[in-house]
Structure 1
Amino acid sequence: MLRADVKPSDPIDEQPSIGLIGMGAMGTMYAKHLAEAGWKKINVCDIPEKFESLKLTYKDEPSIAVHRDGHGVSRISDFIMYLVEADIIHKVVAQYGPSTKVGATVSGQTSVKTPEKDAFEKYLPPDINIVSMHSLHGPTVSPVGQPLVLIKVRASDDCMKFVENLFRGFRSRYVYLTYEEHDLITANVQAVTHAAFLTMGSAWASQRYYPWEHGQYVGGIETVKVNIVLRIYSNKWHVYAGLAILNPSAKIQIDTYASSATDLYKLMIAGDAEGLRKRIYAARQKVFGVRPDEDGCSTPIFLTEDILDQFSIQKPSSPSPTGKNTSNSHLSLLAMVDCWARLSIQPFDHLQLAATPVFRMWIGVAEYLFRSTARLDAALDVAVHDVTYRSDDLEFVVAARGWSQCVAFGNFDLYRERFESTAAFFESRFEEANKLGTAMIKAIQESNGIGK
Structure 2
Amino acid sequence: MGEAVVGIIGMGDMGKMYARRISDAGWRVHACDVPDKYEQLKAEFSGRPNITIFPNGHLVSRSSDWIMYSVEAKNMDAVVSAYGPSTKQGAIVGGQTSTKAPEIAAFEAHLPADVEIVSCHSLHGPGVNPKGQPLVIIQHRASDASVTLVRKILSCFEPNFVPLSAEKHDRITADTQAVTHAAFLSMGTAWQANNQFPWQVPRYVGGIENVKINLMLRIYSNKWHVYAGLAILNPSAKQQIRQYATSVTELVKLMTGGHRKAFTERIYAARKAVFGDPGSKKEGREELLLQDELLDRFSLGEKSAERVKNSQLSLLAMVDCWWKLGIVPYDHMICSTPDADVMTADAIQLFRLWLGITEYLYRNPELLDECIETALSDRTFVQDDLEFCFAARDWSARVSLGHMDGYREKFETIQTYFAPRFEEATKVGNEMIRTIEENLSSRKKSGGG
TM-score by length of 2: 0.82
8 Å CA contact retained: 2:200, 2:301: yes
Q: Which residue of 2 aligns with 1:316?
A: 301
Q: Which residue of 1 aligns with 2:188?
A: 201
Shift in Å, 1:284: 0.8
Q: Which residue of 2 aligns with 1:46?
A: 33
1:387 to 379, 391, 394: 379
8 Å CA contact retained: 2:101, 2:235: no
**More displaced, 428-437 or 108-117?**
428-437
Q: Which residue of 2 aligns with 1:269?
A: 256
In structure 2, relative to structure 1, the CA distance for the partners of 1:128 and 1:441 (3 Å cut) is: farther
In structure 2, relative to structure 1, the CA distance for the partners of 1:413 and 1:381 (3 Å cut) is: same
Shift in Å, 1:442: 5.2
Q: Does 1:349 pair with 2:347?
A: no
Shift in Å, 1:414: 1.4
CA distance in 1, matches of 2:203, 2:253: 23
Q: Does 1:335 pair with 2:327?
A: no
Q: Which residue of 2 aligns with 1:22?
A: 10
Q: Does 1:424 pair with 2:416?
A: yes
- For residues 390-436 of structure 1, give each alpha carbon's deviation from its aligned partner in whole angstroms, at most 9, with x where no partner exists: 32222111100101111222222212211222222233333444455
Q: Which residue of 2 aligns with 1:283?
A: 270
CA distance in 1, matches of 2:369, 2:416: 36
Shift in Å, 1:61: 6.9
8 Å CA contact retained: 2:275, 2:282: no
Matches within 5 A, 1:24-423: 24=12, 26-27=14-15, 30=18, 38=25, 41-51=28-38, 54=41, 66-136=53-123, 146-290=133-277, 296=283, 299-300=286-287, 302-307=289-294, 309-310=296-297, 312=298, 314-317=299-302, 320=304, 324-351=306-333, 352=337, 353=339, 354-355=342-343, 356-357=347-348, 358-423=350-415
Shift in Å, 1:306: 2.7
In structure 2, relative to structure 1, the CA distance for the partners of 1:255 and 1:20 (3 Å cut) is: same
- For residues 237-256 of structure 1, give each alpha carbon's deviation from its aligned partner in whole angstroms, at most 9, with x where no partner exists: 23322332233332222111
CA distance in 2, matches of 1:139, 1:168: 16
CA distance in 2, matches of 1:381, 1:140: 47
CA distance in 1, matches of 2:26, 2:277: 50
Shift in Å, 1:123: 1.8
- For residues 157-199 of structure 1, give each alpha carbon's deviation from its aligned partner in whole angstroms, at most 9, with x where no partner exists: 2322332333345454333222232333333222222211221
Name the SS of the counterpart of 2:380 in structure 1: coil
CA distance in 2, matches of 1:436, 1:121: 45
8 Å CA contact retained: 2:245, 2:389: yes
- For residues 368-392 of structure 1, give each alpha carbon's deviation from its aligned partner in whole angstroms, at most 9, with x where no partner exists: 2222223322332332333333322
Shift in Å, 1:211: 0.8
% identical equivalent positions:
50
TM-score by length of 1: 0.82
CA distance in 1, matches of 2:206, 2:196: 18
8 Å CA contact retained: 1:131, 1:155: yes
Q: Which residue of 2 aligns with 1:3?
A: none
8 Å CA contact retained: 1:283, 1:337: yes
In structure 2, relative to structure 1, the CA distance for the partners of 1:163 and 1:235 (3 Å cut) is: farther
Shift in Å, 1:137: 5.2
8 Å CA contact retained: 2:178, 2:231: yes
Name the SS of the counterpart of 2:387 in structure 1: helix
CA distance in 2, matches of 1:63, 1:387: 67
Shift in Å, 1:60: 6.9
Paired letter, 1:224: V
CA distance in 1, matches of 2:174, 2:135: 16
Question: Number of paired residues?
Answer: 432
In structure 2, relative to structure 1, the CA distance for the partners of 1:426 and 1:96 (3 Å cut) is: farther
8 Å CA contact retained: 2:174, 2:240: yes
Shift in Å, 1:64: 5.7
- For residues 312-356 of structure 1, give each alpha carbon's deviation from its aligned partner in whole angstroms, at most 9, with x where no partner exists: 3x4423x54xx5214422211110110111122222333331344
